[in-house]
Amino acid sequence: MKTKSLFLVLFALVTFTSCELFEKADDVTFNVSVPLDFVIDENANNPGGASYSDTELLDATTDPDIAKYADKINKIEVVRITYTISNADPSSVVFSGGSLMVASNSKIIATASSVSLSNTAETELTADLDGFNDLAARLLDDKQEIVMLNGTLSETPVSFNVRFRFYLKITADAL
């Protein structure tokens, strides 16, 4: 009787473990970067500085791999976020206290304490891990989210473009 019970327990363990292994066996994992562009054009004359806030739609399905697996994605991880400044006029302006947030709940995703508009190199933002997780869950839901950019410009008028790159790790069912 003991042998029969032991056999049933082992059979149950193997069956449940095998099912889980088979479910994961057909998973595909890949990395993508999804761009999000803000075009800043502040014309008011504020030599002492001005607050800035705007929103844009982050649509992960603009990446062809995400679009291909959109209905099969079961996990999204935000790995890092970078920014690149271009077309700054004047380039002497500083953007301080910058933050990217989920617009619907004001959850901070990432920050930058001080950004010189003369810096045109791709630069990584300081991550807020809770914000990364919140954004990942929202992207998993419908593959898009409204993102808000807030901060203070050291002076206006100023115009520049900033491209954020959201580096994501995607896990999806291949079948």
pLDDT of res. 7 = 56
Place of tokens 């999204």: 76
Q: Which comes out higher in pLDDT, residue 91 or 175?
A: 91
* 96 has a pLDDT exceeding 80: yes
Q: Which comes out higher in pLDDT, residue 145 or 12?
A: 145
Contact partners, residue 18, CB within 8 Å, separation at least 6:
none
pLDDT of res. 59 = 97
Quote the percentage of the chain above a pLDDT of 90.
Answer: 83
* Residue 11 burial (10 A CB sphere; 0-12, 13-18, 19+): exposed
